[in-house]
Amino acid sequence: MIAEYLFFILIFPGLLFTAVLGLIVGWVDRKVSARFQFRVGPPFFQNFNDFFKLLGKETIIVKDSIHYMFITAPLIAFGMLVIVSVMVGTALFYNQGFGGDIIVIMYLLMVYSVMVIFGGASSGNVYSSIGAGREIKLLLGDELVFILITLVPIIQSGYQLQLTEILQFQFMNGAVIASLSGFIAFVLGLIAIQAKMTLPPFHIPEAETELVEGPLMEYSGGLLAFWKLNHFMMYVVFPLLLILLFLGGFHLQGLGILWAVLKYLLIVVLIIIIKNTNPRVRIDSALNFFWKYATPLAFVAVILAVLGV
C-alpha cells in the first residue's frame, strides 16, 4: 500500500512523470511557437539542459529578502503541483481516488498562486512586488471563473465531488463538453488556465519588457530551476484536469490511447495558439474581462447545468 502510494507520488503519475512530460511539452510549446514565428526553435533536450544547468548555478539569496519565504515558495509550489498531478493522474489513469476531491484541488492550485505572490513579495525588489501585486489581482480575476466552471461537471454528474465519480458519470453519459453548459465552461476554463499559467495574453505579472520577469526576478540557480519546472509542469496538470472534468477522461485500450493523446494535444495546441496570437493585456483590462464577461458567462453555464442543458 505504502509502496504503491510512493510510486504514485514519486514516479507515476506524480513527480517524475509530470516533470518529464512537462519539460517535453514545454519543448513542444517552444518549438510550435518558434514555427509560428518563422524561427527554428530549440533542440529536444533544451528544457532538460536548462533545468540541470540552473541546478548547478549559484543560488543568490537576496540580503533584504525574507529568507524562509523566498526559499520555500518555489519548493512548496512544486509540492502542490505534484500532489495535484497525483490526484488528477490516479483518477485518470487508474480510476481510483487519492484521498482528495475537486475542492482540495481548487485549494492546492490556489496555494500555487499564493506561493508565487509570497516568493515575489518576499524578495524585496520593486519589480517583484509590483509583479506579486499583479498576481494577486489576476488571481482575484481568474479564480472565481475557475471555481464556477468546475461546478458545471459537478452539477451535471449529480453533485459528485470525487474525481472518479465525475469520470464515471462521463463514461456512462458522454463527456460534459457535449452539453451547452459544458462547452461554455470548457472554453472559459481554457481562458482561465491561460491566466493561471500566466501565459500570453495574461503574462501580466511576469511581463518581461515591463517588470523583468516580475516575481521571479530575484530568483537564480536551483530555486529558479524549480520555478521554471513548475511552469512546465502546469502544461501537464491543467490540461489533464480539463480532460478529466470536460472531455471524459481516458480509455487506455487500443484506439483509446490515440484518443487520449489527441485530447491532450488538442488542449496544449489551443493553449499555444492563444499564447501566440495575443498581446499582453493590461491588468485592468484583464480584470474587466474576467469580472464583466467571463464570470457572468460562467454563472450562465452553472445555471444551464442546473437546468440540465
Residue 284 touches another protein, criterion: CB under 8 A: yes
Stretch that binds another protein, among 21-29, 30-38, 75-83, 235-243 (CB under 8 A): 30-38
Nearer to another protein, 31 or 134 (CB): 134
Residue 200 touches another protein, criterion: CB under 8 A: yes
Alpha carbons 9 and 80: distance in angstroms, whole number: 11
Residue choice 269, 285, 292, 303 for contact with another protein (CB under 8 A): 285
Residue 201 touches another protein, criterion: CB under 8 A: yes
Residue 212 touches another protein, criterion: CB under 8 A: yes
Residue choice 210, 221, 270, 287 for contact with another protein (CB under 8 A): 210
Alpha-carbon torsion angle 250, 252, 255, 260, nearest 10: 40
- Least distance from C-beta 227 to another protein, angstroms? 18
Residue 36 touches another protein, criterion: CB under 8 A: yes
Nearer to another protein, 125 or 156 (CB): 125
Nearer to another protein, 110 or 212 (CB): 212
Residue choice 31, 196, 203, 263 for contact with another protein (CB under 8 A): 203
Residue 209 touches another protein, criterion: CB under 8 A: yes
Burial of 166 (0-12, 13-18, 19+ CB in 10 A): buried
Nearer to another protein, 31 or 263 (CB): 31
- Least distance from C-beta 288 to another protein, angstroms? 10
Residue 32 touches another protein, criterion: CB under 8 A: no
Stretch that binds another protein, among 108-116, 121-129, 169-177, 179-187 (CB under 8 A): 121-129
Q: Give the per-residue contact string, 243-282, with another protein (x = CB under 8 A; - = no).
A: ---------------------------------xxxxxxx
Burial of 192 (0-12, 13-18, 19+ CB in 10 A): buried
Phi-psi region of 38 (alpha: psi -120 to 50; beta: other; left: phi over 0): left
Phi-psi region of 51 (alpha: psi -120 to 50; beta: other; left: phi over 0): alpha
Residues forming the site for another protein (CB under 8 A): 33, 36-39, 126-127, 129-130, 133-134, 200-201, 203-204, 207-212, 276-285
